[in-house]
Amino acid sequence: MKALLLVLTLGFVVVGYSQEYRLKGKITAVNDKPLPGVNVFETKAPGSGTQTDENGKFVLNFSEEGIYELTISHIGFTTQRINVDIGGSVPDLKVVMQESGFDLDEVVIVSNRDKETRDEVLSSISVLTSKQLAQTRQYSNVVSDIVARIPGVSLSNNRQQTRGQKLRGRSMLVLVDGIPQSTPLFVTDNLNYLDPSAIERIEVVKGSTSIYGNGAQGGIINYITKKGNTAKKMESHTKIGASSFLVKPDHTAGMHVSQFFNGQVGKVNYTLGGAYKQFGIMRSAKGEISSPKDGMGETEWYNLFSRIGFDAGKGYKLELMYNYFGNNQKSQLEQVSGVYGETPALGVFGERDPGLVGQGVKYNHNLRFSLNKSDIFKNTDLTATYYLQKFRTIYASYDYYTDLSQGYTGGQPELTSDQKGLRLNFNTDYALSDSFKGNIVYGLDILRNKTAQPMADGRLFTPEMDMKNYAGYLQIKAKIDDFIFKGGGRYETIDINVDDYTTIYRDNGETTGGGLAVKGGKLDYNAFTFNLGLRYNKWRFLQPYASFSQSFSVGELGRILRIATDPDIISDNIKDTRAVITDNFELGLEGRLTNKIRYGVNCFINKQKLGTTYIVNPETNFFELSRLPEKIYGAEFELNVIFNRKLDVDLSLSTIEGKTDNNDNGKFNDSEDEYMDGSRISPSIFRGDINYKLSPKWHVNIAGTYVGNRDRFEENEGGGYAYGRAPVKNFFLANLFTSYQLTDSTKVLVGIENLFNRDYYPLISQWSSRDADYIKGNGINCKVSVSIRL
């Protein structure tokens, strides 16, 4: 901490004594209409740029005189690169942008640790822009709903814990500005780590990747938080709204308010703000009160956010970011279990168990300090990041943690994670000739993570795991004429200490388990993962790529330890603690058939020699971990069409399947082999978005989702299904967003979830085959907001 304060102090001193050069400008369309939200940045440092305000104006700061190349980009317009001479005067720049439909290089991807344009990425990626986020969060209350708009991501389940929401059938590494949120020691089944109001954009890199290390089996989801508008000293953005279900609205009223300030004063840019939400009870399409188990009804959500940046001159930039997020359920409802396949689980007003603790994320603290230095040595930029994250969540109550001998009837698991880390990332540009150039990204990651899972009543569920993780990596990119080649590797070393513990007593009404004293110890992991890829960009209409990538994971160690059956975790008899290497193969095509038609298609296969599938033992009815080989394969297709200035359409289709090699012979088509269950593999999903401008001030968006059938398993002897193996029936959902610009500063927004009031069961309610989880999805509900930007 002393070192951090010293760096900040030095930064302020340098700020005070360095000269500042400013570039002011205005960007318009060909009709002289100002363009807001245009990205303006120095080409070599896109992360330090700005966006135009509602009048198309911007201000960009420079620490030194000289000639700089600016990149100016906006979706639907041709990207421009302009050289500007920054000197003692304050030049005014005027830029007119030409409409172009789509540009594959219009999006800058930062989640690969190398700022890249879209046509340089050798895997499938998806980006939700600030415009798309503004639309989706008007009818989707939480981040997990928003992320579900991305092809390859399973649908959310209307619950606080996003159990079953995977990326290409596997767990993903969730980041906030590069800070890991999901602990690598225990899959948290949660994507809701912050409020959508604090997010500027979301980048998703699909497929196994080791670029950020442990845990990215399915890929990376990076929430990129808001940055200040440097064109003003202060800008205020206020949003106030209310919500209600439209069928039996009693007790369903909710409200939300957010306030953000941002701007730039001298060499300091800032964003400060927060959000508060309150939800009423949730109802189905028929007006039934949904069960409060793990639900979002009757909850309060909080988010505080701050980001402060300093341009210290001489290529040094400092930034401090802090985000706090939390939510808490204060339900007055009693849970009434349903009957799977017949009647839904409900909530009724009555005597609530006084021993229950409010479910939800009690806190999620994120602190990040970063230092960027351009040209720290020849053609090399440095990004150094120190971060802290503290997380605690409480789950719903489960009857099988009953221990009557100790006076416990059920129990609520918690999860706590405390992690801190340091990252040093170097980026060196090189050019062997005009047609052969690229860059090398390399660095060091250090992570300390402590994860545990106590019970809310004081019992121990999963022991504390103390992990020390060190990793070095190197990634080379080469552009040779129209070819782009990438290759790299990462070496990981991990030490995990576990104290002695006793497994928790479990009782499912038929059998009992747990109560085993286990000797702790030290677990060591070492792994090398690598990736290779090639892309060809000669033709606009056809840009193929192929890649192979690996990821490393300790294999959900927390879940393994809590169901241990061996009294010594270091015993030679225990093989379940072995780490997981995931191999991912991908082929893809992207292109523009015209300036207004863009497509992307890919197919993938990922394999694990040691899987991490949880199955229910039919003899004990308790979960056990299967480490059998796994194969997941699928395809994704996206099509974007701009019909005219008023109408554009986005369509996508994702399909996936997975199998386990039950006889471990390297094949997946034997009679003994099985399909993977619904907790990992979702049915095919078709998504569509229609955007229409009724007038320059009135915009409408309709987003539809069709979920197909999946029926892979037979009934058991009792006529039911094991957990995760029940069939899924198809359903269709549509959401509506519309906004109207009342004045230059005031906008009215309306969002309607489940526009046609479909009566349906979310995926987890169907495939889980549990009476208590047989909860219907939300019926039609409406949220109205007023947005004021000054």
The residue ranking higher by pLDDT, 371 or 351, is 371
217: Cβ–Cβ under 8 A, 6 or more apart, which residues? Answer: 170, 171, 172, 208, 551, 553, 580, 582, 606, 608
Give the dihedral of Cα atoms 227, 231, 233, 239; nearest 10 deg. Answer: -50
In whole angstroms, what is the distance from residue 483 CA to residue 587 CA?
Answer: 15
Q: Give the per-residue pLDDT at 138.
A: 87
pLDDT at 426: 95
pLDDT-derived band of residue 258, with 50, 70 and 90 as boundaries? very high
Per the structure block, which two tokens stand in for 769?
């085959």
Percentage of the chain surpassing pLDDT 90? 46
**Mean pLDDT (the chain, rounded):** 86
Residues ≥6 apart with Cβ < 8 Å to 194: 143, 176, 223, 225, 303, 305, 323, 325, 364, 366
Domains of the chain: 2-97 (2.60.40.1120), 108-789 (2.40.170.20)
- Mean pLDDT, residues 578-582: 82
Question: Smallest Cα–Cα separation from 359: which of 334, 399, 390, 328?
Answer: 328
Residue 485 banded pLDDT, cuts 50, 70, 90: very high
**pLDDT given for residue 278 in this prediction:** 94
pLDDT digits (tens, 9 = 90+) for 119-174: 888 888 888 888 888 888 888 878 888 888 899 998 887 777 777 788 998 888 88
Q: Tens of pLDDT along 459-474?
A: 988 899 999 999 999 9
Name which of 175-184, 375-384, 564-573 the model is least confident about. Answer: 564-573
Lowest mean pLDDT among 398-402, 571-575, 619-623, 779-783: 571-575
Give pLDDT, residue 8.
41
In 378-459, DSSP assigns E strands to: 380-394, 414-433, 436-454
Q: Select the more confidently predicted residue: 352 or 692.
A: 692
DSSP for residue 519: B
Would you say residue 710 has pLDDT above 90?
yes
Strands 21-29 and 57-62 come out as antiparallel
Residue 454: partners with Cβ closer than 8 Å, 6 or more residues away: 413, 414, 416, 460, 461
Which of 97-106, 342-351, 474-483, 525-534 is predicted with the least confidence, judged by mean pLDDT?
Answer: 97-106
Q: In which element (H, E) is residue 95 found?
A: strand 92-97
pLDDT above 70 for 368? yes
Of the listed ranges 5-9, 179-183, 197-201, 760-764, the least confidently predicted one is 5-9
In tens, the pLDDT along 598-627 reads 999 999 999 988 877 666 666 656 666 677
Round to whole Å and give the CA distance between 412 and 459. 10
Q: What integer pLDDT is reported at residue 190 of this predicted model?
A: 76
Amino acid (1-letter code) at residue 590: E
pLDDT class for 14, splitting at 50, 70, 90? Answer: very low
* More confidently predicted of 366 and 718: 366
Whether pLDDT at 737 is above 90: yes
Q: pLDDT grade, residue 16 (50/70/90)?
A: very low
pLDDT average, residue stretch 319-335: 91
254 vs 569, more confident: 254
Statement: residue 572 has pLDDT above 70: no
Would you say residue 1 has pLDDT above 50?
no
Residues ≥6 apart with Cβ < 8 Å to 31: none
| Mean pLDDT across 353-378 | 88
pLDDT digits (tens, 9 = 90+) for 527-568: 899 999 999 999 989 999 999 999 888 867 777 788 777 788
Q: Is the pLDDT of residue 367 over 90?
A: yes
Judged by average pLDDT, the poorest of 86-100, 392-406, 630-644, 648-662 is 86-100
